[in-house]
Amino acid sequence: MKFNRQTTLRAQASVAGVGVHSGLPVTLTLGPAPVDAGFIFVRTGLEGSDREVQATAEQVIATDFATVLGDRNGPLVSTAEHVLAALRGMGVDNATIEVDGPEVPIMDGSAAAFIAAIDQAGIVTQPAQRRLIQVLKPISVKIGDSFGEIRPHASGFRVEVEIDFSNPVIGQQSYAFDLNPEGFRREVGRARTFGLMCDVARLWSAGYALGASFDNTVVFDDERLLNAEGLRYADECARHKVLDVIGDLSLAGLPLLGAYRSVRGGHKLNHAVLTALLADRTAWRVVEGEAARRTARPVGEVGRGIVGGRIAAAFGPDVS
Ligand SMILES: [Zn+2]
């Protein structure tokens, strides 16, 4: 496979499950998309015609418990982050993600089912150079005691996560990961969603987590892990945060060349850092070609309107 070319899926592949927040059954179908399309959610099963939403930072309308994408008519698809992480993590540039319900199915709480669907569909290269967003200077955001920063990095995309829970079973964990498909499959993609037992009742009363169970969430109380099958990794929580970062930062619309560090972060912090980066036209540029090689070259001057196509549309001023 030529890694400097854009990729998409060879065929369609579906997974079926329930939404972790809604508890509703949903089928998700991954499929091919043209060059420069990025990731496009297609919401079917609505009255009237299907609705599409581009998986970009400006379509994010909530980050409270999951990353929710929508448009001016309201939310379209919730819990977008794990399937997006699978696509970005496995090196897919362009894909459609069709869902027949309001939420991506949670499956086992990790990206494993989506990786399996990508394997089933197959990945093909497309006749166009891969385009990437190269970070040119550090951008940081502080929210309460959370801290996030994205900075230039010599090659590829690196994620560094630190978590620090007062819950003694989770406690402090850190994990660093240089994104590559095989590493993603082995080390990050299988890490599951986690939560605290004491939060579950609160979430239920707020109408969230209705589909949460031990089949899709790693649950802790103050003394122990409650899942009978145990952890997949000793630091599974930190690894899952890395998975979430890869999904949330895929909303840049293109793969990133840079290093992202998150301390006590979550979806809100990830979105805030990405938004701050994209808002500063001196902090990034679009390049073509393989990340790690010197062949990467700028596509045009940043902020001059030659960033082109969907990127300009995604990050340009709101003219509507
Ligand atoms: Zn997650």
> Do the beta carbons of residue 175 and residue 191 sit within 8 Å?
no
Q: How far does the centroid of ligand 1 lie from the alpha carbon of residue 162, in Å?
A: 15
Fold of 5-130: Ribosomal Protein S5; domain 2 (3.30.230)
Q: How far does the centroid of ligand 1 lie from the alpha carbon of residue 89, in Å?
A: 14
pLDDT for 230 beyond 60? yes
**pLDDT for res 161:** 98
Q: How far does the centroid of ligand 1 lie from the alpha carbon of residue 91, in Å?
A: 19
E-strand ranges in 152-307 read 157-164, 172-178, 194-196, 218-220, 256-263, 284-288, 297-298
- Which pLDDT band holds residue 299 (cuts at 50, 70, 90)? low
> Do the beta carbons of residue 35 and residue 231 sit within 8 Å?
no
- Which pLDDT band holds residue 298 (cuts at 50, 70, 90)? low
**pLDDT for res 297:** 53
**pLDDT for res 306:** 29
Look up the pTM and report it.
Answer: 0.90
Phi then psi for residue 169, to 5 deg, are: -75, -40
Of 65-74, 95-104, 109-118, 138-147, the range with the lowest mean pLDDT is 65-74
Active site residue 153: no
Per-domain residue ranges for the chain? 5-130, 133-304
Residue identified by tokens 């498909």 is: 181
Q: How far does the centroid of ligand 1 lie from the alpha carbon of residue 98, in Å?
A: 19
- Taking residues 206-214, what's their average pLDDT? 87
Q: Catalytic residue among 21, 82, 240, 267, which?
A: 267
Of 45-59, 274-288, 306-320, the range with the lowest mean pLDDT is 306-320
- What top-level class would CATH report for the domain 133-304? alpha beta
